[in-house]
Amino acid sequence: MEPAASGSPQPSSPSTSPPPPPQPSRYESQKRRDWNTFLQYLRNHKPPLTLTRCSGAHVLEFLKYLDQFGKTKVHVETCPFFGHPDPPSSCSCPHKQAWGSLDALIGRLRAAYEENGGRPDSNPFAARAVRIYLREVKESQAKARGIPYEKKKRKRKPTVTSVRLDVDLTSSVTGDGSNSDSPATSGAVPSLG
């Protein structure tokens, strides 16, 4: 009195799993998400704003709007932790978008704008004002956290480094902060003839 189909093995597929289907790269999917976020921002803009009328000033507005979703604490100058890369306790300073995130975001949106039919010479993400704003954010965040970006720049790696920089900064709170590839001479004792 057993059910008929019990115990019959499925001969069709051996247990090897097929290779994963090709996926859009993380960069591409992130770019698409960013672009949709920006289009949505334009739709909700008051007064309404179309892409063709969008200027660098609007891009700056957008970047400032994103700060409310930021996760990077940026100390104000009056905070006792201003300039401390690793504060011993918390404070009430606001969270903002890290410079590295904004910089990468602008790069993706600049590309997306042209991929969606925008003309390079009217690309609002390539506007001078945007570049200046990003540089100001970078410098002020570097000061607020006591980390000079200039020093790290010396490594001169491709632009991807700028994103990594920011990851390093936030993760160094939990890490031991040691920098293995710095040319520290502390261990090496030179022989004195």
Q: Which residues bind Zn ion (CB under 5 A)?
A: 75, 79, 81, 91, 93
Least distance between Zn ion and beta carbon 174 (Å): 18
Dist CA 38 CA 117 (whole Å): 15
Tokens describing residue 133:
């704003």
Please give the backbone phi and psi of residue 43, each rounded to the nearest 5 degrees, phi first.
-65, -35
- Of 23 and 90, CB closest to Zn ion: 90
Tokens describing residue 16:
């090897």
- Of 89 and 159, CB closest to Zn ion: 89
Least distance between Zn ion and beta carbon 83 (Å): 10
- Of 81 and 149, CB closest to Zn ion: 81
Least distance between Zn ion and beta carbon 57 (Å): 29
DSSP 1: -
CB atoms closer than 10 angstroms to residue 78: 7
- Of 62 and 81, CB closest to Zn ion: 81
Which of 134, 108, 112, 107 minimizes the C-alpha distance to 51? 112
Least distance between Zn ion and beta carbon 75 (Å): 4
